Chain A
Amino acid sequence: MAAEASTSGQGPGEMNTGTTERRASGGSDAAKFNEQKFWLNAFTDRVANIYARSDCICLCDVFGDHDKRLVVVDASQKKLKLWKGTTLEAELKLVDNPVALCSVYGDNSKKRIPALCVAAGPHIYIYRNLRAYYKFTLPDLAFSDKEKQVWEGLAEAKLSIEQACDQLVVLREEDPQGGNLSQRSNQLIAMSLSAGRDDMQSFVAKAKGVGIHEQTAITCICSIPKSVEDEGSQESLLVGTENGKLHVIDPVKNFEIVHTIDLPSAPVQLAATGAINVEYKVVVLGRDAKVYNVVDGQLTSHVLDLHTSPIAIICSSKFMAVGCMNKTIYFYNLAGGLVHNIYLPDHLTCMESFSTEHYSNMITVGLKNGEIRMYNEILLCSVIKLKEPIRALKFGRFGREDNTLVVTTSSGSLDIKILARAAKLKPSAATSKLLQEQVPEQDVPLNIPKKTRVYVEQTKREREKASEMHKGFQRDLCKLRLSTARAYVKSITSGQGPIWSSSEASIITNASIFGLGPDFKLEFTLENNGMKALHDLRATITFKSKGIKLERSQFNISTLLPSVQYSFLTNLRCTSSVGTEEQQLKVLISRQESCVPILSAIVKLPVVDQEEQDQEPFQQADFGASHHGMDSKADMLVMG
C-alpha cells in the first residue's frame, strides 16, 4: 500500500502548480486540464431522459428531512422527476407544460418544508411534500371598456360582425404596439380577413355572454429571501410575465401579489440579490437584449444595452455576469460599468454561479462543445469535458454533499459530480500576478507638476482677461506678418535673395561648389521664369578671403531666354587657410544699366586640408588650358 502511495502520491499542491502553469500558457488548451483533479464522478445516467434547462432544475429539501433531492420538470414529457441519491424516487404527471421551477420556503411552521413552484402558462402549481397544494393564477388582463362594449353589442345583436370588426380595428390602431386587444378580438379580426361568415357567426355565438377573461403567460420565476439570507428562512417569489410585469408574491399570505413592477420588455430571466424587507436588487434580462435593474421595488433608469443576444445572467453581491451569444461573458460591476469579459471557445449554453466554503463568486459555464468551465471570477480554474453539448447546470447541496454539480446534456443524460474536498480552485499565483500587473497600469497617476502660485495667477488672469489677451496676441501676430512681408519685399528688391522678379521677368539663381579642395569648381545656374527674354546681365563673384583665387570672376550674359536653364562654371583654388567667415562666396547678378544687384546666391567653401595645398604649383600650371574651354562653352550657351 505504501508503495502504491509513493507511485501515485503527488501532493495536491504539486498537481495544482502543474495546472496553473498550463493555464497561464493558454486558456484555450482545455484538454490539458484533468477534470478529475477537482470533480468526483458520483453518478452518471446516460438514459435519464431529462430534457430541461437550468430553469427547470432545482435542488430542494422536498420533504424537510435535510436530504436534498434533485427535482426536474420536463416540458417534453410533462413530468416532474425526483432523484434521491442515485435512485429515481418519484415521478409526477404535470397538468401543463412547465416553464420554470423554483422552491420557496414559505410557512412559519417548525418543520421547514419548502414549496415546489412549477410555472406553467398563467399558473403556478405549488406542491408541498410532493402533493398538490395550491394553484396560483395570474390576474386577468385589463381590457378597455370600448372593447367590452363592442362584444356586448355583438351579443345583443346591436352590431353586425362587420361593424364590430371595423370598430375593433380602430381600437387596435390606437395603441402603436398593438397589444391592447384581447386574443378573442384579434382572432375575430383575423377571421374577418380569411374565414367564412358562418365560422364567424359561430365564433361570436360562442363568445356570447362570456366576459373577456385572459391572462398572460409566466416567463420566469425566482425566489428571494424575505429578511434573512439563510437556508430555510422565509422567501418571496418573483414572477416575470409575458406582458412585461414583475410580480412579487408572498407565499405566506396565500400567494397574494404584494407588489408589481412594470418593465419595458418581457423578462426572460431573473437574478435576485438581497432580501425583500431589507434591500434587494433584481436584475432582469429582457427579451429586447437589455438588462433592467429593479432596486427595492423600483425600476431604475439604468439600463444595459448588450447589443447581442444574452443567454444567461448571474448576479452576485460583487458583480453581474451576462453570457451572450457571441461566445462572451461580460462582467459588470454593481454600478453597471463593464469590468471584464471572458471569451469562450464555443457557444455558451448555460451558466451557474456557485460558492463553496472556501471559494465565493465562482462561475461555471456549460458550452456547446461539451465543456464545463469553472471560473474564479474571471480566471479559469477547471475544465470538465463531456461528449455532448451541455444543456443545464445546477450547483448546490444534493443529499448530504454540499458541493454538487448537476449536469444534463443534450441527449438527456444526467451527470452528478462532487467537488473534492482538496480541490484548489484558486487561480494560480502566476495568473493572479498577471492580473495584478494589468491593473496598476491604469492606476498609476500621471506625473502632473504641482500647481505653483505663478501658474494659478496666470490661469486666473487668463480667465479674467481672455478677450484682451486674444486681441493683443492677434495684433502682435499681424505686426509680425507685416514685418516679415516687408523684409521679404526688401530682399527681393535689393537683390539679396536668390529670386528676382519684376513686371516683365523673374530669375532664379542657384550656386553650388564641387570638389574636395584645394581646387574647386563653382557652378551657378540662372533660369528665367518670366515670359520675356532678358538682355545684358552681368554676373559677378565676390569673396572676402585673400586665399581664394578665382579663374574668372565676371560673366557677361547677353540674353536669358525664358524657361531655359543656363549654367556657368569657373574654377577656384584655395591657396591658404580660410577663416569660417571668409569661406563665403557671393554670386551677384546685376543689370547692365544699374549697379544694384538684382539677385544673389551664396555658397560656402568646404574646409580645406592644409597638406593638400603643397601640390599647388603643379596644379596651377594645369589651370589655364582646361578651364578656358569650359568658359567658352558657357559663353556659347549664353549666346545660343
Chain B
Amino acid sequence: MGFLSKLAALFGPGKKKVKILVVGLDNSGKSTIIQKLKPNAEKKTAVPTVGFNMEEFEKGSLCFNVFDMSGANRYRSLWEKYYNDAEAIVFVVDTADKFRMCVVKVRMAELGMSLNRGGLADKTVSLPLKDELERMLSHAALEKVPILFFANKKDVINAMTPVECAKYLELESIQTRAWQIIHSNGLTGEGLSTGIDWLAQTLQK
C-alpha cells in the first residue's frame, strides 16, 4: 500500500471497499445471513436465489460489497466467474444436511484411498472427483484469499458441531490461507457478527 493510498484510507471520504463472495449449497442459508447482516434495511424473507444478488453494507472502516451467489446445482458454475474479484470468501455450510455434506466435500476415507493430503500425495493416484470445496480452494485466483466458514443452522437438532464440521471438511489441511469456522444461526443472527469481525480484521492486516 502506497503512502497516498494510506492517506486516502485515513482521511479519504470513502471507506475501503472489499468484495466478498458468499457461496455454499442451496438451502444452506446464505441469503438469510446476508439479510440479517444488513443494518436496519428492509428485511425480506429469503427465497431461493436465482443467479446471484448484490448487497452492500458497512462494518467498521470497511464497506462490504457482497455477492450472494445462488447455491442451486445449475448455478454453481457461476461461482468461479467471480473468483477473480473476490477478496474474501464466506462459505456457508448447512450442518443439518448431513446427506449432502458429500457434495461439499468428498471424503478420502470413503473412497478407500490412502491419499496423503499434506502435499506429498502419490501423483499416480488422481483425485477422482473435485467436490465443491476442493474446486474452490484449488482455484488459482483464490490462492491467498481468506475464507470464513459459517456452520449454519445451529438451532436444528442433531446438527453437526463446528468441530465435527471442520473435521468432516478437513479444514485443518488448509495451511496457506487464513480461515475460520463460526457456529451460526442465520435466523437469529447468532455468531454472524463474530464472523464478520474476524473477516474485517483479517482483511485490514
Contacts and interface: CB of A to CB of B under 8 A. Distances in A.
Interface in A1-24: 1-5, 7-10, 12, 15
B103 A418 contact: yes
A40 B138 CA distance: 19
A353 to B, nearest CB: 20
Contact of A85 (B98, B117, B173): B98
A12 B119 contact: no
A422 B129 contact: yes
A85 B99 contact: yes
Given A2-B138, A7-B121, A40 B99 contact: no
A4 B119 contact: yes
Interface residues of B, number: 39
B177 interface: yes
A434 interface: no
A421 B106 contact: no
B129 A4 contact: no
A1 B137 contact: yes
Contacts of B134: 5, 8
B106 A36 contact: yes
Interface string B119-158: 1010100111111101101101001000000000000001
Contacts of A37: 128-129
Contact of B126 (A10, A86, A399, A402): A10
A421 B132 CA distance: 9
B119 to A, nearest CB: 4
A382 B127 CA distance: 17
Contact of B115 (A8, A34, A87, A421): A8
B117 A38 contact: no
B175 interface: yes
A7 B123 contact: yes
Contact of B97 (A4, A85, A420): A85
Contacts of B74: 357
Contact count band on A:
20 to 34
B94 to A, nearest CB: 9
Interface string A87-108: 1000000000000000000000
B19 interface: no
A34 B99 contact: no
Contact of A401 (B100, B130, B140, B176): B100
B27 interface: yes
B138 A1 contact: yes
Contact of A9 (B99, B127, B174): B127
A43 interface: yes
Nearest to A87: B158
Given A2-B143, A422-B129, A399 B99 contact: yes
A416 interface: yes
A357 B74 CA distance: 9
Interface string A393-429: 0000011111000000000000010101111000000
The interface centre, meaning the residue of B123, B138, B177 with most chain A CB atoms within 10 A of its CB, is B138
A86 B129 contact: no
A40 B117 contact: no
B138 A86 contact: no
The interface centre, meaning the residue of A1, A42, A87, A398 with most chain B CB atoms within 10 A of its CB, is A1
The interface centre, meaning the residue of A4, A86, A87 with most chain B CB atoms within 10 A of its CB, is A4
Contacts of B137: 1, 4-5
A41 interface: yes
Given A5-B138, A43-B99, A402-B73, 20 more contacts: A1-B143, A1-B175, A2-B138, A9-B127, A15-B126, A36-B106, A41-B102, A85-B99, A399-B97, A399-B100, A400-B26, A400-B97, A416-B99, A418-B100, A418-B102, A420-B103, A421-B103, A421-B132, A422-B129, A422-B130
Interface of A: 1-5, 7-10, 12, 15, 34, 36-38, 40-43, 85-87, 357, 398-402, 416, 418, 420-423
11 contacts: A3-B119, A4-B138, A9-B130, A12-B130, A36-B111, A38-B129, A42-B100, A399-B97, A399-B100, A401-B103, A423-B129
